[in-house]
Amino acid sequence: MSAGAYSYTVSYDECVDSQDIVIEEGTSNIPELIHTNACLLDGTFEVTLEDSARAVQWSIGDHVLPYFSGSFPTNQELMFQIETTEGCSEEVTLRVDERPWLDQLVFTEPGNLEAFPGLETSELSDYGWSRRDTILCDNCLDYNEPQLQPGTYVFYAVQFPGCRRDTVLVVNEPELTFPMPNVITPTGNQNRMLQIFDPLGKMAMVMEFQVFDRFGNVLFQKFDFLPDDDATINWPNGSATELPNVIICIARIMSKEGEEVTTKQDVLILR
């Protein structure tokens, strides 16, 4: 009820009793909701209904809460309905905002992990990276290796015992790729011959290498070799007079893991 003066009358047979009552501004018979948010990592806060002995029940929407304290989600508006033993009922709206504990995780090839927490590191007692229950580094946001092994990496943050969050970043097996140059100059001093690159060191052997013109005619082919340098393919070996302006190179390659990969490259011939 709003503040103000109210009159009431009670009558019984021939007895009539009239009285006035004044409700002053700021007077409330509703027990107060006390909220705390000690852990800034879990997305919840705690609410306690003070002087709960005077409460019949409290609820959110149609859900009656079983206890007079509990944890509730942050960053949203919650409306509690409180009913007291005096017959009063009131709605109380409560909202507690909490910053995201983590903004972003970044993996940069070949071996760099970086975390961007939403909290200041001074608010945390511990944080770092782990893999397979092994701590890779503590009190660190960055972790580096020359080449990260595929697997699941965990960034964790601890505010105090019992207040911890972590999330995972999965590093997948790099896609097998064996690029070839798209331009060569057979009569020049550099980039004279075709090459097959192995940037990840995954190549076991070249099973088949063929060069075609745009009509499908085979200009060169070689089988079962390791392309350790230019001389391994050794083609076109300084001659470009008989070559078209564009050639098509196709290689079938066996990886060290036993996977067969076919790669194709159109190559421009500069004279």
**193: containing domain:** 183-269
pLDDT score at 21: 72
* d(C-alpha 230, C-alpha 197), whole Å: 10
Q: Which of 63-77, 125-139, 200-214, 232-246 has the lowest mean pLDDT?
A: 232-246
Is residue 2's pLDDT more than 60?
A: no
> In the predicted model, what is the mean pLDDT of residues 118-147?
95
CATH number reported for the structural domain that contains residue 114 in this entry: 2.60.40
Residues 157 and 191 in one domain: no
**In terms of domains, do 189 and 246 share one?**
yes
Residue 228 and residue 161 share a domain = no
Whether pLDDT at 257 is above 80? yes
**Encoding tokens for residue 121?**
């590191």
Average pLDDT over residues 67-72: 93
Domain contains 117:
yes
Where is the domain boundary, 60, 77, 94? 94
Q: Residue 176 falls within a domain, yes or no? A: no
209 and 239, same domain (yes or no): yes
Same domain for 148 and 197: no
- List, for residues 38-62, the tens digit of each pLDDT value: 999 999 999 999 888 888 889 998 8
Identify the pLDDT of residue 212.
94
* 26 and 88 co-located in one domain: yes
3-class SS letters over the chain:
CCCEEEEEEEEECCEEEEEEEEECCCCCCCCCEEEECCCCCCCEEEEEECCHHHEEEEEECCEECCCCEEEEECCCCEEEEEEECCCCEEEEEECCCCCCCEEEEEEECCCEEEEEECCCHHHCCEEEEEECCEEEEECCCEEECCCCCCEEEEEEEEEECCEEEEEEEEECCCCCCCCCCCEECCCCCCCCCCCCCCCCCCEEEEEEEEEECCCCCEEEEEEEECCCCHHHHCCCCCCCCCCCCEEEEEEEEEECCCCEEEEEEEEEECC
* Mean per-residue pLDDT over the chain, rounded: 88
Last residue of a domain, one of 148, 171, 194: 171
- Same domain for 196 and 240? yes
Residue 68 lies in a domain: yes
pLDDT, residue 145, reads: 93
The average pLDDT across 69-96 equals 92
Domain presence at residue 11: yes
Q: Is the pLDDT at 241 greater than 70, yes or no? A: no
Domain end marker among 151, 171, 191: 171
- pLDDT reported for residue 25: 56
Report the pLDDT value the prediction gives residue 118, as an integer from 0 to 100. Answer: 95
Establish if 81 belongs to a structural domain: yes
Any domain includes 178: no
Residue 177 lies in a domain: no
Domain match, 194 and 152 both: no
116 pLDDT more than 90: yes
Place of tokens 């948010």: 37
Tell me the per-residue pLDDT of 159-177, one tens digit each, with 9 for 90 and over.
999 999 999 999 987 778 8
Q: Please tell me the total count of domains within the chain.
A: 3
User: 10 Å Cβ neighbour count for 39?
Assistant: 19
pLDDT band at residue 103 under the 50/70/90 scheme: very high
